[in-house]
């Protein structure tokens, strides 16, 4: 049954895959031929891993997928180990390495093993939608990307050029729900980035193969805590009573909106507000309670939200401005804002732009068209962001195209499997030939 399914898929894909142009070298042609010849095996691995539940909190499932992929890396001559996640309450990460004898460039390849679909989700299995589109949990985000990475590395090995690269692979087990503290859950990723020159992310980006990410906005949480004087509502605004906590929270949020919303690439969102005479808040479950009466001036209010910024400089500047707004209190109120940890920004550096140029040229030479940068407003946070500040160049979205990620309708475009693998293989080869 599986073999007939894959044979049918391949029949369609052979028609849709772009032809190789004359700009591709003999070594590169050998790599693209290898990918065509082994696409059946790649599809089998994709289906196998999609059918294995690896929701972030299903530690056993995450490790099982990691073991399967780890054995695939071993076949290519990589060594691999499991980085235990008990210190940050997650399954851990797969770390694979290949230290090429002739390497001039050190690459970090990034994937993740987990999905948003836990064992109790109704969405558990790979299923064909039509001849070239399939759906399944994590097919695009990002089990397809993991397979593409392996296919590309296999092509480099087949062409005899894998030894021209020093490669570290980190496939995290908690990309969809990061363990805490972040300095532990992201340590393997950051350590690998400090060693590397170039970071390549195999996420699916915005799902369009004509785009890639050279910048991603960071995501940092914030908590606003407000206090007022409890009193009868008939006395609100009196000099010794003041405005109360809810008015103060409203002032702060309105000022955020009026003074900061026009800044390019910046968003700040209050996701939850609780206010009244007495409130409770449980950050772990993102829930809380409020008690208050219409004839009582509110004593307490709490707001939680996030900031998404394009650079660390923008983030720090906005944090200072938000703090200043908070400190300009209404009468008889007090307020404090605290900023948590989160995903750092991946700024659009000159190195990242150069890497996109190289990748786009690879794509055009393969007959697959130009690749342009995703607007950062359409790009969420991802693991590559933790590496960007440590490497000379970084790019993401080299993985499998698709749509409706994080939903039970998640789709993967199967022709992206060989096409993206070819792009990645030729990109890595050309990077290996660069002298600086």
With vertex at residue 214, the alpha carbon angle to CA 180 and CA 108, rounded to the nearest 5 degrees, is 60
The pLDDT value given to residue 2: 55
Unique residue bearing structure tokens 């948590």: 340
Q: What is the pTM of this model?
A: 0.88
- How far apart are the C-alpha atoms of 71 and 327, rounded to whole Å? 56
Domains in the chain, start-ordered, CATH in brackets?
2-216+346-432 (3.40.630.10), 222-343 (3.30.70.360)
The alpha-helical segments, DSSP class H, found in 187-341 are 187-195, 245-260, 312-326
Mean pLDDT (whole number) for 332-341: 96
Q: Is 321 within 8 Å of 260 (Cβ atoms)?
A: yes
pLDDT in tens, 158-190: 999 999 999 999 999 999 999 999 999 999 999
Is pLDDT at 18 greater than 90 in this prediction?
Answer: no
Q: Which residue has the higher pLDDT, 292 or 9?
A: 292
Contacts of 137 (CB under 8 A, 6+ apart): 50, 53, 115, 117, 121, 123, 124, 125, 410
Mean pLDDT (whole number) for 26-38: 97
Is pLDDT at 154 greater than 60 in this prediction?
Answer: yes
The pLDDT value given to residue 15: 42
Q: What percent of the chain has pLDDT over 70?
A: 95
Q: Is 91 within 8 Å of 114 (Cβ atoms)?
A: yes
- How far apart are the C-alpha atoms of 173 and 115, rounded to whole Å? 9
pLDDT in tens, 96-142: 999 999 999 999 999 999 999 999 999 999 999 999 999 999 999 99
pLDDT in tens, 353-395: 999 999 999 999 999 999 999 998 887 788 999 999 999 999 9
Mean pLDDT (whole number) for 326-341: 97
Unique residue bearing structure tokens 């390849």: 109
pLDDT in tens, 259-277: 999 999 999 999 999 999 9
Nearest to 300 by CA among 318, 283, 317, 279: 279
Q: Is 175 within 8 Å of 145 (Cβ atoms)?
A: no
pLDDT in tens, 401-429: 999 999 999 999 999 999 999 999 999 99
Token duo for residue 72: 């695939």
The pLDDT value given to residue 210: 96
Q: What percent of the chain has pLDDT over 90?
A: 91
């Amino acid at each position: 049954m599986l073999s007939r399914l894959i044979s049918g898929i391949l029949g369609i894909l052979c028609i849709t895959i772009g032809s190789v142009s004359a700009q591709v070298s003999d070594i590169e042609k050998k790599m693209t031929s290898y990918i065509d010849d082994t696409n059946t095996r790649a599809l089998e691995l994709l289906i196998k891993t999609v059918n294995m539940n690896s929701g972030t909190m299903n530690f056993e499932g995450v490790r099982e997928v990691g073991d399967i992929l780890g054995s695939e890396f071993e076949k290519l001559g990589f060594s691999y180990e499991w980085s235990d996640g008990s210190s940050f309450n997650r399954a851990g990460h797969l770390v694979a390495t290949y230290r090429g004898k002739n390497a001039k460039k050190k690459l970090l390849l990034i994937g993740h093993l987990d999905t948003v679909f836990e064992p109790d989700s109704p969405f558990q299995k790979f299923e064909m939608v039509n001849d070239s589109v399939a759906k399944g949990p994590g097919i695009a985000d990002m089990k397809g990307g993991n397979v593409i990475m392996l296919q590309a590395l296999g092509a480099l090995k087949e062409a005899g050029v894998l030894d021209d690269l020093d490669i570290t692979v980190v496939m995290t087990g908690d990309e969809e729900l990061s363990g805490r503290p972040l300095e532990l859950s992201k340590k393997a990723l950051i350590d690998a980035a400090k060693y590397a020159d170039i970071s390549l992310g195999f996420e699916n980006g915005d799902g369009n193969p004509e785009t890639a990410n050279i910048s991603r906005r960071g995501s940092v949480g914030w908590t606003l805590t407000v206090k007022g004087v409890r009193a009868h509502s008939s006395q609100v605004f009196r000099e010794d009573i003041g405005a109360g906590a809810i008015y103060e929270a409203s002032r702060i949020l309105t000022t955020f909106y009026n003074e900061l919303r026009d800044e390019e690439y910046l968003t700040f969102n209050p996701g939850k507000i609780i206010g009244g005479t007495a409130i409770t808040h449980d950050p772990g479950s993102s829930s809380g309670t409020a008690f208050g009466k219409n004839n009582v001036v509110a004593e307490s209010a709490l707001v939680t939200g996030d900031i998404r910024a394009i650079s660390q400089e923008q983030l720090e500047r906005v944090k200072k401005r938000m703090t200043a707004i908070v400190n300009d209190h209404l009468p008889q109120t007090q307020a404090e804002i605290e900023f948590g940890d989160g995903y750092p920004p991946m700024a659009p550096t000159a190195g990242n732009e150069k890497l996109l140029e190289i990748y786009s040229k690879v794509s055009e030479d393969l007959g697959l068209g130009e690749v342009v940068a995703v607007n950062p407003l359409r790009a969420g946070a991802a693991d590559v962001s933790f590496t960007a500040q440590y490497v000379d160049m970084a790019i993401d979205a080299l993985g499998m195209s698709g749509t409706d990620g994080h939903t039970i309708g998640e789709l993967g475009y199967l022709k992206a499997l060989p096409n993206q693998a070819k792009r990645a293989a030729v990109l890595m080869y050309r990077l290996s030939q660069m002298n600086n």
